[in-house]
Amino acid sequence: MTILKRLAAVYMFLLAATVAVHFLVNQFYDPKLEGASLVVWDIINPFSAAGMVMILIVAFARKRRLDAGADLSVSREYIETNVTLYYSAALFIAFLWNWLGVTVVDPGNAEWLVWMLFDATLPLLLVSTALRLLREAAAARSA
């Protein structure tokens, strides 16, 4: 299981770097988002969807472990777990709504604020989840 967690963490780090760099760089080569940058986003989006699913799986598993414990007090762990899970779920719903609206319904249907929010926060969620997976893998290996 530790090798799977490490591989997932590497995937998340690479995806986070790709999304963050492209989000910043596309302003220089396609500022009106009319051409090449949209093609790159079309390639990145399925990988982003997979990354979001991975984040949700990790966050849900973490919440189940936390809820199974005897201590139900509000702690840092409780807040981190719930914010990660529910924010990730809301972001994934907004992402799917926007992505499907653009690809299936009408390319002019894009809500750019949703894309900006998604592309600015996805790398943060990916990196924090990847770091958590690496810590869990290291703890399991040393145990």
Q: What is the DSSP string of 52-88?
A: HHHHHHHHHHHHHHHHHSS--S--HHHHHHHHHHHHH
pLDDT (0 to 100) of residue 123: 98
Q: What is the extent of the structural domain holding 23?
A: 2-142
- Please write the tens of the pLDDT for every residue from 57-89: 999 999 999 988 877 788 898 999 999 999 999
Residue range 21-30: mean pLDDT, rounded: 88
DSSP per-residue letters across 11-34: HHHHHHHHHHHHHHHHHHH-TT--
Confidence class for position 8, pLDDT limits 50, 70, 90 = very high
How many domains does the chain contain in total?
A: 1
Residue 35 scores a pLDDT above 80:
no
Residues with Cβ within 8 Å of 5's Cβ and at least 6 positions away in sequence, in order, are 133, 134, 136, 137, 140
pLDDT (0 to 100) of residue 140: 83
The residue among 34 and 136 whose pLDDT is bigger is: 136
Ranking 14-18, 25-29, 61-65 by mean pLDDT, the lowest is: 25-29
Integer-rounded Cα Rg, in Å, for the chain is: 17
Q: How far apart are CA 11 and CA 51, in angstroms?
A: 8
